A = this chain, B = another copy of it.
Amino acid sequence: MTPSVPEGPGIVKNEYSFYIVDMPRVSEAHLEQRRQQILDAARACFIRKGFHETSMQDIFAEAGLSAGAVYRYFKSKTEIVESISSEAISMMGGALYEIVAEHPPPPPEEAMERLMAHMLENGESYLNSFTLAPQVWSLAMHDSGYRNNIANVLRPVHALWTTYAENLRDAGMLPPDSDPEAVSRTLLALVPGFMLQRVILGGISPETLRDGLYALRHSTAATDSSS
C-alpha cells in the first residue's frame, strides 16, 4: 500500500506520515544572504551616521526587517558593530601581500602609492572604510576587546611591511645597517594619516604620498641625524 514516491535529497520517511519533505525550510544560502542583508544595512547606517548615532531601529528600517528578524542573526548591537568593524579593519592585507612579494621590491613610494590606491578603490566606493576606521579606532580606545581585535589584524600587516623592509635592505635599497622594524613601523604609520587627511582636509591622493616619499628618499646625505 506504500505508494512509490520518488526518494531523493530532502524527501525523508518518518513514522507519522510516510513521507515528509525535510528540505531545510530556507536554504543555507538564504540564511547567509539575510546576514549579509543585515550587515549591509548596518554598514550603510554606520557610514551615514556613525555607530553610536545609529539605533537598532535605523538598522531594522534600512534592512527592511523586523527587530526579531535581526536579533535572530545577531544577538546584540555590539555583535553587529563588531562584525562591521572586523570587516573594515581586515580589508587591507591582499594588495599589500602582492606588493611585498615582488622581486625586486618596488621602491617605498611606489609600494605606498599602490596600496593607497587599492584602499581607495575598495574603500571609498564599496566599504567606505575611511569613514568606519576612525570609529573603530575610537572604540578601541576604551574596549580592550576591540583593541586586541585590531592588534591581531594589524600584526600580520606589520609583519608584511617588515618583510618588505628586509627585502628592500637585502636588495641594497636601504642602508645595510638600517632597522627593518623601524622602516616597517614608519610606513605603517602613514596609512591612518592618509585616511584622515583624505576625509578631513582633502587634497591628498596616493600620488601625494608617492611624491612626498620620493622627495624624502632623495634628500641629500648632508643632513643626517641617526642614532
In the complex, whether A131 has a CB less than 8 A from a CB of chain B is yes
Contact of A30 with B by CB under 8 A = yes
Contact A134 B141 (CB under 8 A): yes
Pick out which of these stretches binds chain B: A35-43, A90-98, A100-108.
A100-108
Shortest Cβ distance from A191 into chain B, in angstroms?
A: 6
Docked-complex contact A175 and B50, CB < 8 angstroms: no
Cβ contacts under 8 Å, A220 to chain B: 172-174
Contacts of A174 in B (CB 8 A): 215-216, 218-220
Please tell me if the beta carbons of A218 and B218 are within 8 angstroms of each other in the complex.
no
Q: How far is the CB of A171 from chain B (nearest CB, A)?
A: 8
Residues of chain B lying within 8 A (CB to CB) of residue A151:
200-201
Give the size range of A's interface with the partner. 35 or more
Q: What does DSSP make chain A's interface, helix, strand, loop or mixed?
A: helix
Give the residue of B137, B155, B175 whose beta carbon is less than 8 angstroms from that of A196.
B137
With contact pairs A108-B216, A216-B108 given, residues A138 and B175 touching in the complex (Cβ less than 8 Å): no
Q: Is A140 an interface residue (CB 8 A)?
A: yes
Contact with B along A196-221 (1 / 0, CB 8 A): 11011101100111111111111111
* A-B residue pairs in contact (CB < 8 Å), sample of 27: A3-B5, A4-B6, A11-B17, A16-B24, A16-B26, A17-B22, A17-B24, A17-B26, A49-B142, A50-B141, A53-B142, A110-B225, A131-B142, A134-B134, A135-B138, A137-B196, A141-B199, A155-B201, A173-B219, A173-B222, A175-B215, A178-B214, A190-B193, A192-B196, A214-B226, A216-B216, A216-B217
Interface residues of A (CB under 8 A from B): 2-6, 8, 10-11, 16-24, 26, 30, 48-50, 52-53, 104, 106-110, 131, 134-135, 137-142, 147, 150-151, 154-155, 158, 165, 168, 171-175, 178-179, 181-194, 196-197, 199-201, 203-204, 207-227
CB-based closest 9 A-B pairs: A186-B212, A189-B193, A178-B215, A17-B21, A138-B138, A182-B211, A182-B212, A134-B137, A107-B223
